[in-house]
Structures are given as C-alpha cells and as structure tokens.
Amino acid sequence: RWALLVPAAVGGALVALYAVVTPFVAPALRKVCLPFVPATAAQIQNVLKMLENRSGPLVDIGSGDGRIVIAAAKRGFKAVGYELNPWLVWYSRYRAWRDGVHQNTKFYISDLWKVSFSHYRNIVVFGVPQMMPQLEKKLEEELECNARIIACRFPFPCWIPDHTTGKGIDTVWAYDLKHSRGCKTKSLEVMPETES
C-alpha cells in the first residue's frame, strides 16, 4: 500500500510544483525575457504623480500583481491590466476585491502584442529595453493624440519625455503623444487673425 501512496504523493507534488513555477519561468524562455519584478512604493507614487489631472481609461501593460492598476482605481480611474502570468492575474483580481476596487478594475491574461490599446488615454508600461522600440512603434500607431504613456524603469528609445520624476529604478518617464509625434488637435490649433 505504501508502495503506491509514496509515488502518487511525490508525483502529485511535482505536478503541483510544475503548475505553480511554469508561469514564472516561461517568460524567461521567450525571445524577449519579461520577468516579474514588483513595482516599488516609490514607483507607484511616481506613476500616480504623472497621472495627476488626467482622466479616462487606464491600462497597465505587464501589470504583474496589479499594484499600479489598484492604485489608479483608488484614484478614480477605470483601470485594466494585461499580464501573461495567470497566477499573477488571479492574485491581482483577489487584491482588487480585497481592496474594494474590483468594480473599477479588470485583469486579463494576454500577450501585449495581440491586444489593441487604441481606446486608452493613459498607458503605463513596465518593460525591458529589448521590447521598447517595437512597443513604441505599436503605441504610436494605435493611440490617439491625447494619450499619455508612462514608462517605468526603462525609457522609450526615440521619444523625448515630457516629464520625468524619480531616481534610479524608481524613475518614471511620461510621454504625451501629441508632442512625441507632432499631432495637431483642435485645442492646439491657432485660428488665423482676421482684420476687422
């Protein structure tokens, strides 16, 4: 009897360990490694500072355990997070429910390259240098002129930030797309003066 129970218990433990570890290890095996590194309290405050006087929907690309999404929801944003790791998404949903902001948050298990971000005005990105050039191009093609993109830890390679705050790993760069690509909006257009 023990001869059956011990192998079954060991086998079950190995399967459970594999199920838990795989979502954390799999990103390291991709072409672009996107490890989970939690946002620091200072980073969250710096992101919120860049969101002052902003409104509209917010998306966190690579939302991890949901810290930014939950903090933004507490400030009144309808916030969405996209993350590849299902364990982190489920944990984020639990945290949002625990913190009482689950009605203003959504978390999706999804690859950022397969999602359109066209209806968001506020975009937060926790990326790595290898992905930033391609993501810069994707966001420039998809977003409206009134969008603000906030990059954490690593800046975009071509855009010039409109605002920067923080130091070291807590540095946050904000890019207003109307400046980064020279968009013209009605509020920026100057009407020619007419003689009376």
Reported as a single tens digit per residue, the pLDDT across 48-77 is 999 999 999 999 999 999 999 999 999 999
pLDDT value of residue 15 = 63
pLDDT-derived band at 81, boundaries 50, 70, 90 = very high
Tell me the mean pLDDT in the region 88-116: 94
> How many Å apart are CA 130 and CA 168, to the nearest integer?
19
pLDDT value of residue 47 = 96
Share of the chain above pLDDT 90, in %: 58
Count the residues in the chain: 196
Domains in the chain, CATH or no CATH each: 42-177 (3.40.50.150)
- Asked if 120 contacts 143 with a C-beta cutoff of 8 angstroms, the reply is yes
Evaluate if residue 3 carries a pLDDT over 50: yes
Tell me the mean pLDDT in the region 99-128: 93
Evaluate if residue 150 carries a pLDDT over 70: yes
Q: Enter the pTM of the model.
A: 0.75
| CB environment 12-24: b (16+ within 10 A), e (fewer) | eeeeeeeeeeebe
Evaluate if residue 143 carries a pLDDT over 60: yes
Evaluate if residue 188 carries a pLDDT over 70: no
Residue 123's contacts (CB-CB under 8 Å, 6 or more residues apart) are: 58, 59, 61, 117, 139, 143, 147, 148, 149, 150
Reported as a single tens digit per residue, the pLDDT across 8-58 is 666 766 666 555 555 555 554 445 445 677 889 999 999 999 999 999 999
Q: Residues 140, 120, 174, 80: what is their CA dihedral angle, to the nearest 10 degrees? A: -130
pLDDT value of residue 28 = 45
- Asked if 131 contacts 32 with a C-beta cutoff of 8 angstroms, the reply is yes
Three state DSSP letters for 132-184: HHHHHHHHHHHCCCCCEEEEECCCCCCCCCCEEECCHHHCEEEEEHHHHCCCC
- Asked if 133 contacts 140 with a C-beta cutoff of 8 angstroms, the reply is no
> How many Å apart are CA 115 and CA 140, to the nearest integer?
14
- Asked if 192 contacts 173 with a C-beta cutoff of 8 angstroms, the reply is no
